[in-house]
Structure 1
Amino acid sequence: MDLHHLRYLVALAEHQSFRKAADALHLTQPALSRSLQALEEDLGVRLVDRIGKRSTLTAYGSQVVQSARRILSETAELRRGVTLMRQGDLGTIRIGFGPTAAAILMTPFLSQMAARHPKVQVNVARGSVELLTQALRSEAVDIIAVDLRALAVAADLRIDPLAPLRGGFLCRSGHPLLDQPDITLSMLRQFPVMSTPLSREIGRDLVLQLGPEADPEQLMTINSEDIHGLLDIVEATEAVFFGIFRCARSRIEEGRITEMHVQPHAERVGRYALVTLSGRSELPAAALFREFAHALFRE
């Protein structure tokens, strides 16, 4: 259905004359007549009764005019919204964060949006990779930032990997284990060990590197998606955190938390990604988030 034809019908309803409507639309009367005939053929009903010089809408015509006004109004609002979004004055972005991505990205991104793009509406969802992927597919969120190794690859997902980040064990400065020349897994297990829910791949890596007792189901005594809360506990107690160092960067730089090398020591890397639905046009605010995330992960 051609929106121009709907606009012409509305004009005819307002002017009640082909001549006046054609003049207002800057069309010839024959061109206006042909357009309305095309609309009638498209809908399969008669929309206008032509009686002498007067033109009267049929019952179908009146109904179509009501719908046409609504469609044209919504179309104009859509165009206005897109224009404003391009200018950075309006828009909405719905972001889903996994635990580590939230700890690294969420507050800095929201701070930037509040300072530089105060008219953009940002809605945040948090949860597991599975739940966030479901939310993405149901279009409850526009983009998610999650653990790449916990993500099931699928044709309907566009996966954009972020730069890898170092990870491992962290404890408070002054932790008694730091006085030991070699920290073994058995020593570590004397203290609470905390982490976010870990992917099966990470669990397998821990078992391969440290032995069966490193299975997260046995090793981790506290599991939570609140990474900042876990790090607060690490600072206040002798608990140990297993996760990405970037989440604790300011605490590490200030000397409050430090890396703990559990033998045999291995470099551990976390891998994360931004995920959207394949084949969808990206909102300007989502593109802004993508750029921000890549820049922050590269620092």
Structure 2
Amino acid sequence: MDLRRLSHVVALADTLHFARAAEQVHLSQPAFSRSIQAVENDLGVRLFERDVGDIRPTPAGEFVLERARRLLFEARCMQRDVDLYLDNQLGDTAFGVGPFPAATLMPRVLSELRRLHPQVALRVEESNWVLLLERLRAEDIEFFVADVRDLPDDAALDIRPLPAQVARFFVRAGHPLAGASCTIKDAWAYGVAAVKAPRAVTAALTRALKLPAGQEAVLALECDDFAVIRAVTLSTDMVLGATEAAVEAQVASGELVPLEVEGLPTLHAGMGIVSLRNRTPSPMAMKAMRCIERVAGEIRGERQASPQSAG
């Protein structure tokens, strides 16, 4: 089986347009059409319906495409592994992080990796798990770190859980609710800002607020850039939902104050490291994952030993 021609089949399935697919694989349209016809002749099946203005895979095409994508993925993995073996180098790496690990883990992790491996180029993408999963499946990143509770049940994913980080509500110093106990409805009335919440957290807040059937808790401000929502909280009367580790510096300086909220369910960030099960990580990616695991464990230990956390 010619893998190059299989890649042409995948390109046509992705674009559903002969001219765009040909341009994508750097072929003339006649040469590209001949390549598709050659695959169909070799397999003895028609892979695409070619109605006027409408290109779509046949049922046989869908069957072949699933296996073609798998073969091309394995071929890329093998070539990459061989390159790493021959190079005998750590290699550059790219990975993704969700908002909370970006705020709590990455400062330590990236400082350590840069200090120990200054010759290696690192590319870190910050986003929510939905977009990071797309980047992982497209092989644009080697792994990502994020809250994994809403991830699909997919045998192709390898998930390494990290220690949970306790979360709660915080307000700026001088906020009307600061320094006194309040109810969850009192806090919610000021508007809660947070990163995208997992379904389990939204459900728990909905129950705690005793909302009518069919309604669910909606954040007043949802943003995947944690620095932004933290800054908004410091300059307004909004209430910030965050892990204790993410605002440790602001609480220590007195800028933010933890709220004592009656009826607030136990909240935490359930983070993990997500990679593709059948892909061999680069040596640098493996070092980065081990570093992340160690730093996450250290932060968990520090929070447990903190008198503020214990209180």
Query: Which residue of the partner structure matches residue 256 of structure 1?
Result: 255
SS of residue matched to 2:245: helix
Aligned residue identity for 1:243: A
Aligned residue identity for 2:101: A
Query: Which residue of the partner structure matches residue 154 of structure 2?
Result: 154
Residue 237 (structure 1) shift: 2.4
Residue 141 (structure 1) shift: 0.6
8 Å Cα contact 1:104/1:246 also seen in 2: yes
Residues 247-276 of structure 1: per-residue CA shift (max 9 Å, x gap): 111112222212112221433221010011
Query: Which residue of the partner structure matches residue 41 of structure 1?
Result: none
8 Å Cα contact 2:81/2:280 also seen in 1: no
- Write the distance in 2 (CA, Å) between the matches of 1:251 and 1:107: 15
Q: Superposition pairs for residues 2-151 of structure 1, below 5 Å?
A: 79-81=85-87, 83-85=88-90, 91-151=91-151
Residues 31-71 of structure 1: per-residue CA shift (max 9 Å, x gap): xxxxxxxxxxxxxxxxxxxxxxxxxxxxxxxxxxxxxxxxx
Gaps of 5+ in 1: 1-73, 86-90
Residue 76 (structure 1) shift: 9.6
Query: Which residue of the partner structure matches residue 280 of structure 1?
Result: 279
SS of residue matched to 2:121: strand
Q: 1:79 to 1:216 in 2, by over 3 A?
A: same
Identity of aligned residues (%): 23
- Write the distance in 1 (CA, Å) between the matches of 2:95 and 2:84: 22
Gaps of 5+ in 2: 1-79, 300-311
8 Å Cα contact 2:109/2:295 also seen in 1: no
SS of residue matched to 2:92: strand
| In the alignment, structure 1 residue 205 sits paired with structure 2 residue 210 | no
Q: 1:247 to 1:79 in 2, by over 3 A?
A: same
Aligned length, in residue pairs: 217
SS of residue matched to 2:193: strand
- Write the distance in 2 (CA, Å) between the matches of 1:210 and 1:288: 43
Query: Which residue of the partner structure matches residue 64 of structure 1?
Result: none
- Write the distance in 2 (CA, Å) between the matches of 1:159 and 1:149: 11
Residue 296 (structure 1) shift: 1.9
Query: Which residue of the partner structure matches residue 216 of structure 2?
Result: 215
Residue 179 (structure 1) shift: 4.2
SS of residue matched to 1:178: coil
SS of residue matched to 1:176: coil
Question: How does the TM-score come out when normalised to structure 2?
Answer: 0.64
State the Cα RMSD in Å: 2.3
- Write the distance in 1 (CA, Å) between the matches of 2:204 and 2:132: 24
8 Å Cα contact 1:210/1:263 also seen in 2: no
- Which segments of structure 1 move beyond 4 Å, counting only runs of 4 or more? 74-80
Question: How does the TM-score come out when normalised to structure 1?
Answer: 0.66
Aligned residue identity for 2:134: Q
- Write the distance in 1 (CA, Å) between the matches of 2:150 and 2:282: 26
- Write the distance in 1 (CA, Å) between the matches of 2:241 and 2:209: 14
Larger Rg: 1
